[in-house]
Chain A
Amino acid sequence: MKYAFVALVCKMLTLAGKILGGGTDLPGKIALKMYPQIMKKLSFKGKVIAVTGSNGKTTTSNLIAHIMRESGYKVVNNELGSNMKSGITSALVSAASLSGKVKADYVVLEVDECYSRFIFEDIKVDYYLVLNLLRDQVARNGNPDVVFEKIAEAISKQPDMTLILNANEPISMNLTIPDRTLYFAMERTSRSTDECVSGTHDCKICPRCFHEMKYDFYHYNHLGQFHCSNCDYGTPKADFLGTQIDFDNKKLLINGEAVTIPFDTTFNMFNSIAACAVCSTVGITMEQFRSGIAGFKGAKGRRESFSFEGRTVNLMLTKQNAASLDQSISFVLEQEGDKTILLFVNNVIYLDYKDVSWLYDVAFQRLNGKVKNVVCSGNRALDTAIRLKAAGIPEDVLIYENDITKVKDALRRTEGDIYILAASAFGDEGKIIEELKK
């Protein structure tokens, strides 16, 4: 009886939120306040899949849900950004009947790395995809070991759950539970390197025996084919292996079957292989996967372009995540023509920390000689310029302007297409776009 009442409130708030454009977290938050055990009352007709990781969880969970829907199944999933307990409560309770039954064939949940454990307490999860662990929003998450412990705690609450892990990522692969784990991996690509070219390498030593880790090649950061110099920990034979990666034509083979995908980045090649691993494991055919992924539009708003005084402006949003920023830099370096980079770095918003240490984990030295100018903006503009100076960017290439109203003038002193690498914690980048569009 109590469930039905609170669920009704949650459903009405969700509906009101949809009409009025409110957040998706609020209904769940209120429902949890009224009834903390509400998720325990839910039951599921179909399989529940949880997706987490430092990079790619939104894209991959949306991709999986999309492919399942295209294959004719009823799917419940949580929307972008609502990956903590309240957002997931909103999504599930509003999709359930008033008796708490979620009648979907599949439930696909994007789950925050640090919050899985609170969700896994309440609902039974059948499959858990962990994409990767890298240092990410370090002011919130600390380091990957801290996150690893939280995920391990979540896993301990689900004795029957199957794990789907990345065999190219030694930190999260160490979550392996024998006989309950499937692996995905990607073979060497044209973008792989012998040495780590990223600014961060989170696994120079083995997480099992603490001796030096060796890599046959790197995909990005510390992801690649690895083996420990001391113990037998290393990339195993994958259950789902991506081969013949063709970035130009957006094609690859997964377990020998040709797939065309709507992506051309290393990140998304991995995400596609991971999505295939999940879909295949839960009974989607390769034919369904192939046609489903072909029509996927991707997460909105991560990459956008507009014009500023006749120049193209490419907006590339990242969280305060060094690996994402490194990938954005790789993308910029692959583009033709003269380029100017505009970095927009603010304080870590929610508590106003003036830390920029995460910028020191980004391989900015790769910009040297490749871009016309780098403009540093945001309230940490000067500190960002100091970081770039440390990376060897010459002072005549560097412009810094912490007054947002003067960024336009700063840009007028530069040449080429503009790439905005906006890195702020929660959506403050709107200000710089507003300013340029004025």
Chain B
Amino acid sequence: MILIWQALALYVNNPFVLPTLEAVLSVLLKPTADILGSGSLLENARLSLVRVTLGFLIAAFLAVPLGVAIGRWEVFKDVSEGLISSLRPVPPLAWVPLAMAWLKIGLASMVFIIALGAFFPILLSTAQGVRGVKRSWQEAVSMMGAGEVHLITKVILPGSAPEIWTGMRVGFGIAWMCVVAAEMLPGTSSGLGYLIMYAYGWGQIQVVVAGMVAIGILGILIDRFFIAVERKWFSWRAYER
């Protein structure tokens, strides 16, 4: 893949269309160097990560309790079903104009878009996980005299944790795409998404490609983290159900 790229780049011989491997690497290997006065690769990556984490956490704090409620109590399910099925198909980025109208351009509207992207996957897999918690587990624990609070904290949450975690993994992936896209919108002045749009404007395609590679690598690393935690904590899942 890399070889084909390099061969093609040499063949095209036009840095404005396809930069060579060396050009891209030289950007990637100096992550702290300032790029066209818009900050370093590392600095912009850090900003993107902060935004995505913020949006993701907000989404998780809202989606997990709501997902538990929907999965556990019929009332919530009936009320929320219509709302969810009508809102979910709208891509997070379609909310951009509304987000800008409500929250102005800046951190708040970006975080809103990111949170929206992460929200539904977490909500739906939490609800599904809660519904799938074995009845015999709940009954066994209620035979110990557990009330609803204990049932939720000792059975429902740990029992659906693997699904919640999977929802978070998917949600974070979507949030990561959303942050990059949101940073490309006019009015932003930092982040990896901004950096590649800005470099594109200056015809610095090697920076664009380096930025894309950085986005990809960070995305993969985060996903790996989610998978590693899943293997460590939720290995029981493979033996049950």
- Are chains A and B native binding partners rather than an unrelated pairing? no
